[in-house]
Amino acid sequence: MGHNRVGTLPRTRRWNEVVGLLRTSPQEAARVGAAVVEAADNRFRRLAEDPSLGYTFWLLTRVTWAARGQDFIRELNRLGISVSANSSAIDLISAVGDRVGREVAGYPWTGHFGDFAALALRSALSATVARQGPSLFESAAQDAQRAFRTYSTEARFGELARLFLGNFMSRALRSFVDRELVNQVAPTSRLRSAADGAEFLAALDTHTHEAALIVERFAGQWYSKNNWETRGDIDRDQAQRFITQGLRKLRSELRRGASPS
């Protein structure tokens, strides 16, 4: 459901709590999400220093800022993104994803989290283009540049970063939950069918994306401040530090799902 099942969850106290919630309270997606974040705390802490995630976010800052310039295509090529003036927006997004894929391949120890980062970037960029009109998917790079330039302001980049981190965290949470969810779908269970399981995952996705609102304003202010200080040349170390802070904020917000309202 959502991702391939890989292994089983560890049988520690925290992971047993996750299993228990899936068995007894799958309708409480926020509590399940909070329990997963708590149980996988060490892994999420390591993600804050994961170069594949840091690179992917850095590239997001570079593509949006490049859209402000006079030579968008040349700047993308300089970043290793192979596009031309005849490339459509969908070609551009695909090329960005390919560039991330090549980079992530150099960090095999990150495992599927690197793939999640690449998929989250594609999703975030697709969402920005889709909002400008479906015809952009078949238009020239110049039109795509105008669409991406829209997200190079403080407020709109914050929205883009929220989409990226929300999508990434949603995939990460699913990767843990999927290991156990298949075991909980049964006629006598709270999750009686695959449709019930899919409904739970959709609720978990929704909750995660809503929690990601916590990073939106922070990301926008960070982007504006660092581009001003570097004259539009944010480096990878700065992007990695943002990921450390942004993930910390998002994990804290997700943990609140376990707290009484």
Does 227 map to a domain?
A: yes
Decide if 3 is inside a domain.
Answer: no
The answer to whether position 117 is within a domain reads yes
pLDDT at 143 > cutoff 90: no
The predicted structure's pLDDT at residue 261: 45
CA-closest candidate to residue 116, choices 53, 159, 58: 53
Reply yes or no on whether the pLDDT at 221 is more than 90. Answer: yes
Report how far apart, in Å, the C-alpha atoms of 198 and of each of 1, 2, 60 are: 7, 8, 30
Predicted confidence at residue 186, as pLDDT, reads: 84
DSSP alpha helix (H) spans, 69-215: 72-78, 89-104, 112-132, 141-149, 154-184, 194-211
Mean pLDDT of 108-115: 92
What is the pLDDT, as a whole number, of residue 191?
86
What pLDDT, on a 0 to 100 scale, did the predictor assign at position 7?
A: 60
Structural domain contains residue 8: no
Rounded to whole angstroms, the Cα distance separating 135 from 116 reads: 27
Q: Residue 260: inside a domain, yes or no?
A: no
Could you tell me which residues are beta bridge partners of residue 185? Answer: 191
Residue 183 has pLDDT above 70, yes or no: yes
The two tokens of residue 232 are 């539009």
DSSP symbol at 191: B
How many structural domains are present in the chain?
Answer: 1
Binned at pLDDT 50, 70 and 90, residue 3 comes out as very low
Mean pLDDT in residue range 102-113: 93
pLDDT greater than 70 at residue 178: yes
- Is-above-0.85 flag for pTM? yes
Q: 5 lies in a domain?
A: no
Asked whether residue 47 is assigned to any structural domain, the reply reads: yes
Across 78-83, average pLDDT: 95
What are the two backbone dihedrals, phi and then psi, of residue 4, each rounded to the nearest 5 degrees?
-65, 140
Tell me the mean pLDDT in the region 220-234: 96
Domain assignment present for 105: yes
- Domain range for 243: 13-253
pLDDT number for residue 1: 41
